[in-house]
Amino acid sequence: MLKKLFGIAPKLEPDGSYSPSKVALKIGVADKTDYENISYQKYSGIKNKILVICTEDKNLKMKNGKYFSTGNHPVETLLPMLHLRNAGFEFEIATPTGKPAIFEMWAFPNKDEHVNAIYQELESNFEKPRSLSDFINKSFNQSDDFAAVFIPGGHGAMIGIPEDRNVAKILRWANEKELFTISLCHGPGAFLSTTLDNKEFLYRGYNLAVFPDSVDNQTPLMGYLPGKMPHGLSEKLKSLGANLMNTKMDKTVCVDRKLITGSSPLASNELGKLAATELLKSLS
């Protein structure tokens, strides 16, 4: 009752899941982003495609049994894609089984014309994506068409994707073909898939940015999450041999070899700029 009174009670959704409280939304969600409309010298070669691996799952079970209403974070997905599109790249959208990509619409920056425009432009692609198995079967032999794999953030990236062997196959394919891998916030949860079947962690020794477990542990206090996370991500990546470049939810971005990462939604614009610049530099 007191949590409701002070606006820090998570909102119960019709399907029984919980979205962030009024206070959490006021603190953590903005109606406009810090997007910079930069004019890049557009890439015009054949390696102009980027595979975007989105989650198709909405509800993440917390330690207390409650479900967080999540998905792909719209800013963490669309803001980097704006920069990459402006740099001349196109997108192949995929989800694990080909079901529609799910977004945290409560986090959508409704007054941001640029984010709204690219969402509307790609909405049909998000609604009818490829499955990962279809991509593996039909596009692995077309690696010359691809420049990168992008895994957006959002807590939804922690549902199923870290345990998906097709995700692991794609990450190893990208690494072998020297494509860029781009991710931020909770998106690097996908990297855990490379340890399946007792294989060595693909990014051991890499520098990377990721959302800190310490912040996830604090957000239930203001009703952002309806409970503690089922397990941490940043400390798990660290235990596998990754070198973490941030300890806060901030604008940290990092490039190490062909891996480009960002720490949080606050880093979305910086990640997009860095990714666009690095891809153009590599392909020039």
The residues annotated as belonging to the active site are 185
Rounded to whole angstroms, the Cα distance separating 232 from 271 reads: 23
Residue among 240, 239, 164, 175 nearest 201 (CA): 240
Q: How many CB atoms lie within 10 A of CB 117?
A: 12
How many Å apart are CA 144 and CA 268, to the nearest integer? 27
**What's the CA gap between 24 and 10, in Å, rounded?**
9
Under 8 Å between Cβ of 26 and 6: no
Q: In what order do the strands lie in the sheet with 259-262?
A: 130-131, 90-95, 49-53, 146-151, 180-184, 259-262, 253-256
